[in-house]
Amino acid sequence: MAKQDYLIVTDAASDILPDYADREGILVIPMEVTMTDGTVFDATYDNANMDLEEFYTRISGGQFAQTSAITPQRYRDFFIPLLEQGKDILYNCFTSAMSSTYSNACMVAEELKEQFPERKLLVVDSIGATGGQGYHTYYAAVNRDNGMPIEENARWLEDTKKHVAYNWTVSDLMHLNRGGRLSKTAAIFGTALQIKPVGNIDDEGRLVSIGKARGRKLSIRRLCDILENSLEDAEKRPALICYGSCPEDAEALKRMILDTGKVSEVLTGRIGPVVGTHLGPSGLTLFFFCRERVKAI
């Protein structure tokens, strides 16, 4: 079937690999980030407005960043010129469980139906974030290239979104405490005992812990174990690792995964500011197509 002529869109929370976005012409809506020192910038897929090393240096130094949902007006400003050009749009959006971004997008999509009755603007709640959201979006673009119509592709995103694994671990528990994800008492005791959380994004799109490991090396091992036990190999696709500011740990996880022989390729990317402010510099994430998202380890 011939490639379909509609646009694939996601947002900056997706941390889509720049090569993926550029190769497929995927459009990425920026998201505003405000740091505690007053710095305000738009997070973009290529991190053009804030170098990631600078961002994580600031975070390591005690700053925190607050992210803002994409506003209805920003959506109008983004979508209307594309609709005026006669383009149909499929938008894979940041999880509704962590932001009002999705509800704002749906409101604007409904509003624009009246203004552009012959155009299609379909919005899907990814129930995901960071590299997994971008990974899933990329395969929607591949579907389009292979001739899948926009409505069918939207259904594919809906039908497969709970089969994308979103697993993560962090080393710095105090950062989770600063972000309101962990109590100070739990962070102090966990740090003293070298307990590292291992988590996922659950079927409702929430960032949750599914287990613990004693020490960083074992927590990284747990990510690899999850892949071994839940990988869906009906279609061979690469796994994707995204990391904050810990390239050595990302490389260690990549070697572990390749040693399993379960996948032949492991890609690496970065966790951008939208999610990086919550996971911190030690954030390490793993994404792949799975039978189901693991509930506990």
Residue type, 48: A
* Structure confidence at residue 297 (pLDDT): 82
Contact 64, 94 (CB under 8 A): no
* Structure confidence at residue 246 (pLDDT): 97
Strand partners, 11: 29
What separation in angstroms does the CA of 213 have from each of 7, 33, 194, 263? 42, 32, 8, 24
* Structure confidence at residue 2 (pLDDT): 76
Residue type, 62: G
Domains, the chain, in order of start with CATH, read 7-161 (3.40.50.10170), 163-289 (3.30.1180.10)
Please tell me the distance from the alpha carbon of residue 152 to that of residue 144, in angstroms, as a whole number. 10
Question: pLDDT (tens digit, 0 to 9) for every residue of the chain, 297 residues total?
Answer: 678 999 999 999 999 999 999 999 999 999 999 999 999 999 999 999 999 999 999 999 888 898 999 999 999 999 999 999 999 999 999 999 999 999 999 999 999 999 999 999 999 999 999 999 999 999 999 999 999 999 999 999 999 999 999 999 998 766 665 555 555 544 444 454 467 889 999 999 998 889 989 899 999 999 999 999 999 875 689 999 999 999 999 999 999 999 999 999 999 999 999 999 889 999 999 999 999 999 988
pTM as predicted: 0.94
* Structure confidence at residue 192 (pLDDT): 42
Q: What is the DSSP letter of 13?
A: G
Give every CB contact of residue 272 below 8 A, 6+ residues apart in sequence.
12, 13, 15, 43, 45, 47, 52, 130
Q: Cα 80 from chain centroid?
A: 25
Q: What is the DSSP letter of 129?
A: -
